[in-house]
A = this chain, B = another copy of it.
């Protein structure tokens, strides 16, 4: 199916910095009826280290199970990545596990890399066993070449309406280091885990444990801080690869000050990709950042932010350009977190709708209406005297979301 490009899409795909030694190929295995690439194969140079974060959905999927086991077995040694769109290979039992393994063995034979050093990622319909014979048939025609990022990002799309990429350049102890990443995701997007598929690459020589620590920490404020519909996929996965081509001095601790610039750059890339996913939220017409302040803890603030972001009544009001702050207050109240209702305030941009537990004296309907017509909204709520805070991103809930998801399989 083809959808019109999201009105919130960036003007163009960004130019990503080069990651030395990376190769890729894309092709069409035929998981979709219509013409479109649906397979991405990537090869990394020897010495590459990898880390991943995966869905916490209890059902999971064959590819996420594979990645977790393979990363543990190889201690982060990974040389390749096989991604397919159109079939999630989730809830497919032992047959799905076997199909995943066969696909990786075929890819490994082509690349001359053991299967356990290849990560797998699948996205698409749940409950259908991966037809690995389609991948086996496609492999001989794939020619590995330097990565063309826009094409690689497009090959992993499902209901996405635009390809998503982000990159950054920074220094580690004076050595220039590059980061480039791609992601897909549009529906079944919820926080509290690695959400959707994202693959991020750096040329920095960093160990697997350091990659893992940084990835976990920075995922929290990026992919784990977005939500389109509160539905957490079975196949979510973010992988971070470090090819080691940029010879930075050995660093053994993720807390090392020399990683500050890298951490910031990684954080920027992950958040950029995460926000692009919200921008491509199914049916979205508004990008909304929700800030919660004054909560008992950051964790509590995040629960409140998520409740606001996932409230159908808040999301439909935003779609209708209605500054219905009463629904935001309702959502604060139903988050089951400690709040002081006489301190609750709700602000749209700089405009106060509510303050000190009541409608704000300075409430200006005309100014508020004008603000709500914007494409990007900033909602800030105060819930008490605490120091806990969180920032989460979401989109509005429109008829188009219902339309897209009422006939996904047909």
Contacts and interface: CB of A to CB of B under 8 A. Distances in A.
B127 A231 contact: no
Most buried by B among A128, A187, A405: A405
B90 A326 contact: yes
A381 to B, nearest CB: 12
Interface in A324-358: 324-327, 329-337, 339, 341-342, 344, 354, 356-358
Interface in A225-269: 229-234
Prevailing SS type, chain A contact patch: loop
A58 interface: yes
A93 B342 CA distance: 7
Interface residues of A, number: 67
Interface string A167-182: 0000000000000000
Given A57-B334, A330-B57, A322 B406 contact: yes
Number of identical monomers bound together in the oligomeric complex: 2
A49 to B, nearest CB: 30
Contacts of A317: 405-406, 408
Contact of A408 (B95, B188, B322): B322
Contacts of A341: 58-60, 91
B316 A401 contact: yes
5 contacts: A59-B339, A90-B326, A230-B312, A234-B329, A317-B406
